[in-house]
Amino acid sequence: MLAYSQSHVYHALSLPAVMQVCETNLETGLTPEEVARRGEIYGWNQLPIQPGKPAWLRFLWQFHQPLLYILLVAGTIKALLGAWTNALVIWGVTVINAVIGYVQETKAEGAIASLAKAVTTESTVLREGQLLQVLSEELVVGDIVLLTSGDKVPADLRLCKTRNLQIDESALTGESVPAEKSIDPLPAETPLADRVNMAYAGSFVTFGQGTGVVVATAGATEVGKISQAMAQRVNLSTPLTRKFAKFSRILLYAILTLAALTFAIGWGRGGSWYEMFEAAVALAVSAIPEGLPAVVTITLAIGVNRMARRHAIIRKLPAVETLGSATVICSDKTGTLTENQMTVQAIYAGGQHYTVSGSGYSPKGDIQTEDHQRCCVDTLPPALEACLMAGVLCNDASLKQIGEHWSVVGDPTEGALITVAAKADLTQMGLVAHRPRLDSIPFASEYQYMATLHDTDPPLIYVKGAVEALLPRCDRQMNAQGEVVPLDPADVAPVVTQMTGQGLRVLAFAQKIGRPHQHAIEHSDLDTGLVFLGLQGMIDPPRPEAIAAVHACQSAGIRVKMITGDHIATACAIAQRLGIATNGQVLAFEGQQLARMDDHALVEAIGSGDVFARVAPTQKLRLVEALQAKGEIVAMTGDGVNDAPALKQADIGIAMGKGGTEVAREAADMLLTDDNFASIVAAVEEGRAVYQNLRKAIAFLLPVNGGESMTILISALFARDLPILSLQVLWLNMINSITMTVPLAFEPKPPNLMQQPPRPPQEPLLTARLLRRILTVSLFNWVLIFGLFEWVEAQTGDVDLARTMAIQSLVAARIVYLLSISQLGLSLGHYLSRRSQSLTPAPVLILGIAIAVSLQVLFSQLPVMNWLFKTAPLTRQQAALCLLPMLPMIPVALLANWLDPSLAKHSVAAAKSEK
């Protein structure tokens, strides 16, 4: 039986002890049979999936809405009274709402699961003496794993062999500098960040090679322990959900009060309790906007689908709207605002300055002199050529091309050196063939340089490293003509200062003639006598689309703050290029400064600062809390394990779908599938469009409920026949409302949407202007329903016909009102007034109106509908009479738009932009 136990302190064990505990062999690894046995007994290398709610419980949870409680109770009472038709229809309405919510939530979870399946990694493993490529999920304790530059560590490993191995563990420890690894045992109490003989799951190999034995997989890894300890947020609380819950509670109390009042007064005035109960149910049903939950869900789902097409996956539907109210976006730098591809942009060689165009690892671009002359292989100045050659030959990286995409295998800095040489037509393959390597000294932090010895006549040594490490070892330099002349370090210092002031990472290059027949190189060979060749300055450049996205945020009144673990000078330089600045100046703070601040000082700093550099992931949580203390709606990006608390605290946590850790993705509300800041801004734009369309839906739905409620209340109080029955109300509120309201969710985004300031976080769902609009249209609907019903009943004595004509007239007037708040109707008005040359296309809106009209024809003309909903067929003259209310609705709609111009202003701007 395997002696493995999670309680073992593997970093404190010797290698033989580790092999004994894990029952494995460093030279041959495990056999396939043993792998299968351990996988069955101890499990595979997959993080345990958080147990979610079962499907039946998630479906039942959709009924957990205050407004639906009333419908469920009303349906139950109807069933107890024997009115099974009414009960089934009422229950059917609640089930439709539940099904819509359940389907959309399931689709969102499916998108997350698909992304998780797409983010899989492979590992090189030694099994039965052979090297194999296997999925990381197939690893077991005791497997021997080989690591090379660029690999993602697949499980927790006790390192057995290392060669210049460096691993980026920032996602776990928060340390931005890669950790140099060794294999010697350590004291048992050694903290996690200092366990240099371990490699932890989720970290990345940045340099060198190594071999390790798997000592923990899946939930037993350090990442897995944090993942399991962090409870998944079950209910997402957003500004929309909070406002909608408050609105629902207020409406619930008002409906119950009015229904009870209607029953009591009507019964007290001599009405039968059954009739008064029917009136109370009808009033409750009429006051509840049954279609609103479905419309909100569908509108949010459409926003989710639009965002997914723009590389943003939303975990919970309400998060869509929250993005639209964001006032601050806190973003990481590397890979989100920048390309995550180091690029040489400036070179100093032979006393001359050169600029480099192009970005990333593609060889497209030029090296130009100060007078803009291109340097190619035939015209390269000798010092520039030597500097470029040193960068390529003193190098352990390589470039890989797949189609049009170039990537680096190895250190990104070394990849940038190969790329810039290729822009001068100096290829790595050609240089290596002419000057093969004999020996090398790898980069080490205590020396700050790398050196290589090459087989030339005589042997040649190339050195690259930090300026402060190389310059004291140089006594001469190569001038523009290729001659070796004395070096004055004072001439180089201003150039270094200039480059670092631009945020560039500066590397120095030198060479030395070796000894005849020299085949090895030692540190002592580099102590003196180096010839200075030049400097190369590089940077991870900002994404072009991120620059435009930052500008769009600023136009929209959203502040962008950069929070990074990088050096403050580099961060400020990138911020300046991106346009993240206050009055043209970048105000920056370092993590050490933040650590010394009290809460009040931190709130002031986060309010005024643009860049926060050298920030540990644990400090991000304080920054988010400080912003929220100022009343900001905060969107926060993160990808590491230690980012998870900040992601959960933020109003919108945004995790990286490509490079982020599983723990960060679990804590986030939104995932970026392309890890690009521009996708965040696109999602903000979609969020604003969703909220605008939601307000249109509310403005369209509630006036009908208001008109129906007032009609039933007045009729009950004055002991009149009800102009509209509860089943007819359900038809209007669900079938007719949904078919006419859902098209509003497809309204195109107006061009000026991102020029408006963020919505005030404290703004209620129903603003005073929106309430004035709803009240105005509700009064018109009440007069229309009540007046037409009374008139037709008086003329014909047919109650069913009067109710049918009142309903059909209301639907006709609704079409005019729908057009008045849609971009189609507003652009039509501008077109007729010759203020626009074209109409806004709205095929979904036209289709919705056509479906609604068709259903209303069936509602009145189909015998089964007459029996079910107590309606009567109409003659042509009666149908034509029902169209007349469309005319008085026109001035009412214009008055509503004047009282509440917020729904029309974006569409008006859109129409004007067409001129």
Residues 6+ apart with CB under 8 A from 630: 603, 606, 607
In this predicted structure, the answer to whether residue 1 has a pLDDT above a threshold of 70 is no
Nearest to 319 by CA among 665, 575, 687: 687
Q: Alpha-carbon distance 504 to 500, whole Å?
A: 5
In this predicted structure, the answer to whether residue 438 has a pLDDT above a threshold of 80 is yes
SS3 call for 274 = helix
pLDDT range class, residue 912, cuts 50, 70, 90: very low
Identity of residue 596: R
Average confidence (pLDDT) over 140-158: 89
Task: Find the length of the chain.
Answer: 915
pLDDT range class, residue 322, cuts 50, 70, 90: confident
In this predicted structure, the answer to whether residue 140 has a pLDDT above a threshold of 90 is yes
Beta strands in 120-266 (DSSP E): 122-127, 130-135, 144-147, 156-168, 179-180, 198-199, 204-216
Residue-wise pLDDT for 81-97, tens only, equals 666 776 776 677 678 76
In this predicted structure, the answer to whether residue 910 has a pLDDT above a threshold of 50 is no
In this predicted structure, the answer to whether residue 776 has a pLDDT above a threshold of 80 is yes
Q: Alpha-carbon distance 166 to 181, whole Å?
A: 6
Structure tokens given for 117: 């399946």
% of the chain at pLDDT higher than 70? 84
Q: Alpha-carbon distance 856 to 812, whole Å?
A: 10
In this predicted structure, the answer to whether residue 695 has a pLDDT above a threshold of 90 is no
Residues 6+ apart with CB under 8 A from 852: 736, 739, 740, 811, 815
Average confidence (pLDDT) over 157-169: 88
User: Is residue 658 packed enough to be buried (19+ CB in 10 Å), middle (13-18) or exposed (0-12)?
Assistant: middle
Residues 6+ apart with CB under 8 A from 841: none
Asked which of 8-22, 88-102, 235-249, 388-402 is least confident by mean pLDDT, the reply is 235-249
Q: Alpha-carbon distance 58 to 56, whole Å?
A: 6
More confident residue, 22 or 832: 22
Tell me the pairing of strands 652-656 and 634-638: parallel
CB-CB contact of 126 with 19 (8 Å): no
Q: Supply the pLDDT for residue 355.
A: 95
In this predicted structure, the answer to whether residue 105 has a pLDDT above a threshold of 80 is no
CB-CB contact of 687 with 324 (8 Å): yes
CB-CB contact of 408 with 434 (8 Å): no
Torsion of CA 177, 418, 573, 446, to 10 degrees: 30
CB-CB contact of 285 with 90 (8 Å): yes
Average confidence (pLDDT) over 381-402: 92
In this predicted structure, the answer to whether residue 852 has a pLDDT above a threshold of 60 is yes
Residue 111's CB: how many other CB atoms inside 10 A? 18
Average confidence (pLDDT) over 819-840: 63
Q: Supply the pLDDT for residue 678.
A: 81
If you write DSSP's letter for every residue of 157-184 in order, what string do you get? EEEEEEEEEEEE-HHHH---SPEE---S
Asked which of 113-127, 394-408, 822-836 is least confident by mean pLDDT, the reply is 822-836
CB-CB contact of 109 with 10 (8 Å): no
Helix, strand, coil share (%) of the chain residues, nearest 5: 50, 15, 30
Residue-wise pLDDT for 808-825, tens only, equals 999 999 999 998 888 766
Residue-wise pLDDT for 862-885, tens only, equals 999 999 889 999 999 999 999 999
Q: Alpha-carbon distance 343 to 362, whole Å?
A: 10
Q: Supply the pLDDT for residue 810.
A: 94
Structure tokens given for 777: 């249209």
Q: Alpha-carbon distance 720 to 806, whole Å?
A: 15
If you write DSSP's letter for every residue of 804-850 in order, what string do you get? HHHHHHHHHHHHHHHHHHSHHHHHHHHHHTTS-SSPPP-HHHHHHHH
**Kind plus residue range of the DSSP H or E element containing 145:** strand 144-147
**Residue matched to tokens 């005035």:** 269
Average confidence (pLDDT) over 795-806: 94
Asked which of 6-10, 49-53, 162-166 is least confident by mean pLDDT, the reply is 49-53
SS3 call for 225 = helix
* DSSP code, position 541: P
Q: Active site includes 366?
A: no
Residue 114's CB: how many other CB atoms inside 10 A? 11
Q: Which of 332, 566, 610, 651 is catalytic?
A: 332
**Kind plus residue range of the DSSP H or E element containing 330:** strand 328-331
Structure tokens given for 465: 């490293």
Asked which of 11-20, 472-481, 530-539, 688-697 is least confident by mean pLDDT, the reply is 688-697
What is the pTM assigned to this prediction? Answer: 0.65
Structure tokens given for 707: 């008109």
Q: Supply the pLDDT for residue 470.
A: 94
Neighbour-count burial for 860-895, b at 16+ CB within 10 Å, e otherwise = beeeebbeebebbebeeebbebbeebeeebeebbee
Residues 6+ apart with CB under 8 A from 57: none
Residue-wise pLDDT for 477-492, tens only, equals 999 889 999 999 889 9
Asked which of 110-114, 312-316, 740-744, 896-900 is least confident by mean pLDDT, the reply is 110-114
Residue-wise pLDDT for 886-903, tens only, equals 999 999 988 988 888 877
CB-CB contact of 609 with 588 (8 Å): yes
* DSSP code, position 591: H
Top-ranked range on mean pLDDT: pick from 169-173, 472-476, 676-680, 725-729: 472-476
845: alpha, beta or left? (left if phi > 0; alpha if psi -120 to 50):
alpha
Phi (first) and psi of residue 681, to 5 degrees: -65, -40
In this predicted structure, the answer to whether residue 670 has a pLDDT above a threshold of 90 is no
pLDDT range class, residue 243, cuts 50, 70, 90: low
Q: Supply the pLDDT for residue 427.
A: 92
Q: Supply the pLDDT for residue 697.
A: 86
Neighbour-count burial for 379-414, b at 16+ CB within 10 Å, e otherwise = ebbbbbbbbbbbbbbbbbbebeeeeeebebebbbbb
In this predicted structure, the answer to whether residue 603 has a pLDDT above a threshold of 70 is yes
In this predicted structure, the answer to whether residue 365 has a pLDDT above a threshold of 50 is yes
Residue 96's CB: how many other CB atoms inside 10 A? 17
Q: Supply the pLDDT for residue 316.
A: 66
Asked which of 112-121, 370-379, 893-902 is least confident by mean pLDDT, the reply is 112-121
394 has which bridge partners? none
**Kind plus residue range of the DSSP H or E element containing 853:** helix 843-861
In this predicted structure, the answer to whether residue 348 has a pLDDT above a threshold of 90 is yes
Average confidence (pLDDT) over 415-420: 94
pLDDT range class, residue 906, cuts 50, 70, 90: very low
Average confidence (pLDDT) over 411-434: 92
What does the mean pLDDT of the chain come to?
82
Nearest to 354 by CA among 421, 414, 413, 432: 421
Q: Alpha-carbon distance 892 to 828, whole Å?
A: 17
Top-ranked range on mean pLDDT: pick from 51-65, 290-304, 525-539, 750-764: 525-539
pLDDT range class, residue 915, cuts 50, 70, 90: very low
CB-CB contact of 4 with 41 (8 Å): no
